[in-house]
Amino acid sequence: MSFPSGFYWGGATAANQLEGGWQEGGKGISCPDICTGGTATTSKRITPVLEEGTFYPSHDAIDHYHRYKEDIALFAEMGFKMYRFSIAWTRIFPNGDEEQPNEEGLKFYESLIDECLKYGIEPMVTISHYEVPFNLTKKWNSWVDRRMIDCYLRFCKAIFTRYKGKVKYWLTFNEINSATTPMGGFLSQGILNEIKAMDFMDQVDNPNNRFQGLHHQFLASALAVKMAHEIDPNNQVGCMQIMATSYALTCHPEDEIVNQQKGHLMNWFCSDVQCRGKYPNYIKRYFKDNNITVHMEPGDDDILAAGPVDFYTCSYYMSNCQTADESKGTGKGNILGGVPNPYLKASDWGWQIDPIGLRYSLNEIWDRYQKPIFVVENGLGAYDKIDEDGKVRDDYRVDYLRSHIQQMHEAILDGVDLRGYTPWGCIDLVSASTGEMAKRYGFIFVERYDDGTGDFSRRKKESFYWYKKVIETNGEDLD
């Protein structure tokens, strides 16, 4: 068992979940900066006005802003070939709508990128990872407004030109399809339909705004692809989707149809637009049935057609089941909805673990688009503990990752053009959905806890040594 030579083994993070330094280097306030922490069972809160005495996890996160050299050295020690990270929009354009970029922010990422290159680690940059300048939310309700496209493109131009020749792989929007669910409205798009405090899981939803926002993001993505190629023909730009593999709960044809419809909306709509450069027909019926009207301008079709992405990437954590019979589905399948699969176990956060679903979906993606694929997120959020001898024995994480790597290998044997694997949260960081530190994914344990204590020190978990060996043997030794 071996992976293709040059396979990109690595890890992935996002600025707002690990950097901290929320007001340093001229950084502006971003949407995650107004979110409190939560737990596995209680929702985090969105507080447009910061509350005194409340803990905001992104403000210090794991202090990567001051420790990135130490962290990248640890990634290099594991043998990373690729590091996927995001650039905080608010470090480059603190309010989002400035004319000129913030030099201090540009310098920070330049130094971070140089640090990767020093170790031969290929950077993959997510341009926008769940982080919209809060000023743009207040001003225009974020992506609902078409003027966001210009702000985003100014951001792209600043980073494409500054990092030309150093960064080749770019992703336009993290998990863009999360905005097909109410949760993604604020998390992914920065859309806040009422500027008031509310539970993250109980947002004031407006589907029309979300789909209008997506239309603007599709245009921005297409124009960014074009710009990236013009600035440097070596640039490769990808889309990034949540792949939420879904199965019909039974072989009843009605379950199959519901599954197909839900799958179209969640898994294929956004990537169809971004990979094929046009809206699929099925979404027109969905818009009609759900009274959604997306305003499009003449010429938008041409913009989309001129900017399909070069490659496809996704996160993969779980799968779910769909049924037409609502009475059958007691309980939620996982955070993305659906109903529980009787054949699968779930993580402590209720995410159903399904390695074979990854092979299945990689085949589907490849058949549909015939574009190179990267799995840019995958991993197990779990409660870790430091044993008395100082070790973190996370064999459950190794089991999870091993079984997914095995299935990726099967997919490659099936003929899928899979180029890389960057598991999520290669170092412990703040959870996007709950705001917790307790939900850990890393190969590196960070002493930071949900009550704001901890000295941020780093410690290698058992999985660190395991993953190092996996990379060294190009996936041959998974024991």
| 439 part of the interface to ligand BG6, by CB under 6 A | yes
Tell me the closest approach of the beta carbon of residue 174 to ligand BG6, in angstroms: 5
| 184 part of the interface to ligand BG6, by CB under 6 A | no
**Which range in 226-234, 352-360, 405-413, 430-438 contacts ligand BG6 by CB under 6 A?**
430-438
Contacts of 207 (CB under 8 A, 6+ apart): 182, 290, 292
Binding residues among 9-68 for ligand BG6 as defined by CB under 6 A: 14, 17
Binding residues among 313-352 for ligand BG6 as defined by CB under 6 A: 315
Q: Which of 175, 377, 410, 436 is catalytic?
A: 377
In the complex with ligand BG6, which residue's Cβ is closer, 119 or 396? 396
What does each C-alpha distance from 135 to 34, 216, 351 come to in angstroms? 12, 18, 33
Neighbours of 430 (CB within 10 A): 28
Cα–Cα distance measured from residue 216 to residue 198, given in angstroms and rounded to the nearest whole number:
26
Give the burial string for 282-291 (b: 16+ CB within 10 Å, else e).
ebeebbeeee
Tell me the closest approach of the beta carbon of residue 386 to ligand BG6, in angstroms: 21
In the complex with ligand BG6, which residue's Cβ is closer, 268 or 279? 268
> With 0-12 CB in 10 A as exposed, 13-18 as middle and 19+ as buried, what is 25?
middle
CA-wise closest residue to 218 among 267, 162, 186, 179: 179
In the complex with ligand BG6, which residue's Cβ is closer, 258 or 437? 437
Q: Record the tokens describing residue 473, joined without a space.
A: 């043997």
Cα–Cα distance measured from residue 334 to residue 439, given in angstroms and rounded to the nearest whole number:
15
For 55, phi and psi rounded to 5 degrees? -90, 125
β-bridge pairing 198-199 and 169-173? unpaired
C-alpha 284: how far from chain center: 26
| 431 part of the interface to ligand BG6, by CB under 6 A | yes
The binding track of 373-412 with respect to ligand BG6, each residue x by CB under 6 A or -, is ----x---x-------------------------------
Q: Which letter does DSSP use for residue 30 in this model?
A: B
Number of chain residues interacting with ligand BG6 (CB under 6 A): 14
Contacts of 295 (CB under 8 A, 6+ apart): 212, 215
Give residue 72's identity as a one-letter amino acid code.
I
In the bound state, the residue with its beta carbon closest to ligand BG6 is 433
Binding residues among 221-240 for ligand BG6 as defined by CB under 6 A: none
**Which range in 303-311, 363-371, 427-435, 451-459 contacts ligand BG6 by CB under 6 A?**
427-435
Binding residues among 142-181 for ligand BG6 as defined by CB under 6 A: 174-175
| 273 part of the interface to ligand BG6, by CB under 6 A | no
Tell me the closest approach of the beta carbon of residue 184 to ligand BG6, in angstroms: 10
In the complex with ligand BG6, which residue's Cβ is closer, 336 or 416? 336
E strand or H helix that includes residue 313: strand 311-315
Give residue 279's identity as a one-letter amino acid code.
Y
Q: 250 by DSSP, 3-state: which?
A: coil
Tell me the closest approach of the beta carbon of residue 324 to ligand BG6, in angstroms: 27
**Which range in 27-35, 58-66, 112-120, 433-441 contacts ligand BG6 by CB under 6 A?**
433-441
E strand or H helix that includes residue 367: helix 355-369
Using CB under 6 A, pick the residue from 130, 152, 268, 316 that binds ligand BG6: 130
Using CB under 6 A, pick the residue from 132, 433, 463, 466 that binds ligand BG6: 433
Active site residue 256: no
- Packed helices 207-231 and 148-162: angle between N→C axes, nearest 10 degrees: 30
**DSSP track, 256-304:** HHHHHHHHIIIIIHHHHHHHHSS--HHHHHHHHHTT------TTHHHHH
In the complex with ligand BG6, which residue's Cβ is closer, 248 or 344? 344
In the complex with ligand BG6, which residue's Cβ is closer, 181 or 433? 433
Tell me the closest approach of the beta carbon of residue 240 to ligand BG6, in angstroms: 8
| 432 part of the interface to ligand BG6, by CB under 6 A | yes
Catalytic residues: 377
Residues in touch with ligand BG6 (CB under 6 A): 14, 17, 130, 174-175, 315, 377, 381, 424, 431-434, 439
